[in-house]
Amino acid sequence: GAGVSQSPSNKVTEKGKDVELRCDPISGHTALYWYRQSLGQGLEFLIYFQGNSAPDKSGLPSDRFSAERTGGSVSTLTIQRTQQEDSAVYLCASSPRWGVGNTGELFFGEGSRLTVL
């Protein structure tokens, strides 16, 4: 598709279960970001990928959170043993590699809303 695609759009899970959130970036975009958006908290940076490597994963809140990216394209954010405080909207964004035709704009998906009961 033309834009960043995220799935699922909504996920309701029970506390303690594992969840996987998927992001399909714009074709050709080598940079990929995950952000978490909680009510009143703005966008919290989680992790940044350049290609398949993650040079900055400093925003992952705990070792229950992990992310990978394969083929320089699709990324999966995994949350293990979910807790109620993990409830949020998880946003994915992509952009061309910085400095190479990059205007600085991030292209966002519509997000995956996670609710942990």
Q: Which stretches of the chain bind other proteins, using CB under 8 A? A: 4, 31, 33, 35, 40-43, 45, 48, 50, 56, 91, 93, 98, 103-106, 108-111
Taking the complex as a whole, the smallest distance from the CB of residue 99 to other proteins amounts, in Å, to 8
Coarse DSSP helix, strand, coil percentages of the chain, rounded to the nearest 5 percent = 5, 50, 45
Nearer to other proteins, 18 or 56 (CB): 56
Taking the least distance from each CB to other proteins, the nearer of 80 and 108 is 108
How does strand 112-116 pair with strand 10-13?
parallel
Q: Work out how close the CB of 77 gets to other proteins at its nearest, in angstroms, rounded to a whole number.
A: 15
| Helix/strand/coil for 70 | coil
Provide, rounded to whole angstroms, the least separation between the CB of residue 80 and other proteins.
Answer: 26
Stated as kind and residue range, the H or E segment containing 43 is strand 42-50
Q: What angle do CA 10, 62, 96 make, to 5 degrees?
A: 65
Q: Which two tokens stand for residue 53?
A: 């490597």
Of 16 and 61, nearer to other proteins (C-beta) is 61
